[in-house]
Amino acid sequence: YSTGNPIIDLNGARHTGFAIAQTTNRNGTRVSSAKAFLRPFNRRTNLHVLLNTTVTRVLINSTTKHAYGVEVLRNGLKQLIYARKEVILSGGAVNSPQILLLSGVGPKEELQAVNVPVIHNLPGVGKNLHNHVAYFINYSINDTNTTPLNWATAMEYLLFRDGLMSGTGVSEVTGFVNTRYQNPREDYPDVQFFFGGFLASCAKTGQIGETVDNGARSIQIIPTVLHPKSRGYLKLENNDPLRPPLIYANYYTHPDDIKVMIEGIKMGLKLAETKALRKYGFKLDKAPTPGCENIQFGTDKYWECSAKRATAPENHQAGSCKMGPSNDPLAVVSPALQVHGIDRLRVVDASIIPKVPTGNTNAPVIMIAEKASDIIKSRWITNDAEYF
């Protein structure tokens, strides 16, 4: 309330405000999608999960343009696995386009440059890659207590799944706000705040040996650009399936993104000055970002320099196999998630999202998978119910 923003339900009608975030956990333990969706069915006879297995390409008939299986590396040996119905790629915004490129589906010139036989020229594969971009504003607070995480709290968690170790601390709090570049009437906030915190004995940024000043606890206020306009891309370095692709993130290449970030930083600084937080003695870490020492701290130019040199990408990569109509030159999949020009091949993950959502991608990707399940069943289930 101190900032003029309401307390909201993140799944409610209003999107602007602060909240205790819902998380995917049960009994004090994170519940991954694998734990939620695979583990309950691990005894099904039609489910086989291969560990330590890398998909190297999708098998595609170059004449009929339909997928009929995958080639994998398992225990150092190549194996072919054939599909009775269709192939589904769920490798994420980096691996799914990489597999398509290795399979000969992508921009023709790029494939030819790395000696990958072209099956289908699809210019959008690997393009439109983007991500939420964040910045860490570091503070120390007037609390030097280093004892909360001890054997007692560890036993409380191990025995009862309760106590300090069963939660995520200040990371449970998040906020969605409008900068001056966004019309608040639209209820389409352009900055999200995340929060982090470490004990006095922990490193501030995760770098080994970098401890917090004065032995105090640290708090991070983390503004994040929700609607980035910058777009990157990825491509193959060569035709070796074990070689990571070349990723060009291109963060802040669109000038509007850094403008929004600077406003988000200023809003974060004001947040630390509210009565609710002042009582904890928030002290801003003014150590200059390397490379920005000659710019006056706190100016817009300084924040621009610092944000670009201390860029903190979220793990919300999206868009590199974007959904769109076939007349969109950068569209990779149809609304049914089928790869344009290739039958019996779908992509089901964050890569199909044309514009990254206004918030975390975990729940949206699960939703995409649920919807894809319905789409796939609608094609096959009438005649082949035994497979489902």
Evaluate whether 352 touches 332 at the Cβ level (below 8 Å): yes
The yes-or-no verdict on residue 206 having pLDDT over 60 is no
Which residue of the set 132, 227, 316, 340 is catalytic? 316
Please name each of the domains of the chain with its CATH number: 17-32+131-236+251-316 (3.30.560.10), 50-125+319-381 (3.50.50.60)
pLDDT score recorded for residue 171: 86
Give me the chain's average pLDDT, please.
Answer: 91
pTM exceeds cut of 0.75? yes
pLDDT band with cut points at 50, 70 and 90 for residue 164: confident
Beta strand pairing status for 120-121 and 233-235?
A: unpaired
Selected residue with higher pLDDT from 181 and 164: 181
Instruction: Name which of 37-41, 300-304, 346-350 the model is least confident about.
Output: 37-41
Distance CA(204)–CA(220), nearest Å, equals 9
pLDDT score recorded for residue 318: 98
Distance CA(65)–CA(292), nearest Å, equals 53
pLDDT score recorded for residue 388: 42
Query: Does 66 qualify as catalytic in the annotation?
Result: no
The yes-or-no verdict on residue 207 having pLDDT over 50 is yes
pLDDT band with cut points at 50, 70 and 90 for residue 147: low
pLDDT score recorded for residue 146: 57
Helix (H, G, I), strand (E, B) or coil at 231: coil
Q: Which residues contact 214 (CB under 8 A, 6 or more apart)?
A: 140, 144
Element (H, E) at 70: strand 67-74
Nearest Cα residue to 347 out of 134, 147, 55: 55
pLDDT band with cut points at 50, 70 and 90 for residue 201: low
**Phi then psi dihedrals of residue 278, to 5 deg:** -60, -30
Taking residues 176-195, report their average pLDDT. 95
Q: Where are the alpha helices (DSSP H) in 212-357?
A: 255-272, 275-278, 300-309
pLDDT score recorded for residue 169: 80
Distance CA(50)–CA(355), nearest Å, equals 32
pLDDT band with cut points at 50, 70 and 90 for residue 199: low
pLDDT score recorded for residue 208: 41
The pLDDT tens digits for 101-145 are 999 999 999 999 999 999 999 999 999 999 999 999 999 888 766
Work out the angle at residue 148's Cα, subtended by the Cα atoms of residues 147 and 150, and round it to the nearest 5 degrees: 75
The pLDDT tens digits for 216-266 are 778 899 999 999 999 999 999 999 999 999 999 999 999 999 999 999 999
pLDDT band with cut points at 50, 70 and 90 for residue 11: confident
pLDDT score recorded for residue 143: 74
Nearest Cα residue to 344 out of 61, 122, 63, 81: 61
Taking residues 374-388, report their average pLDDT. 73
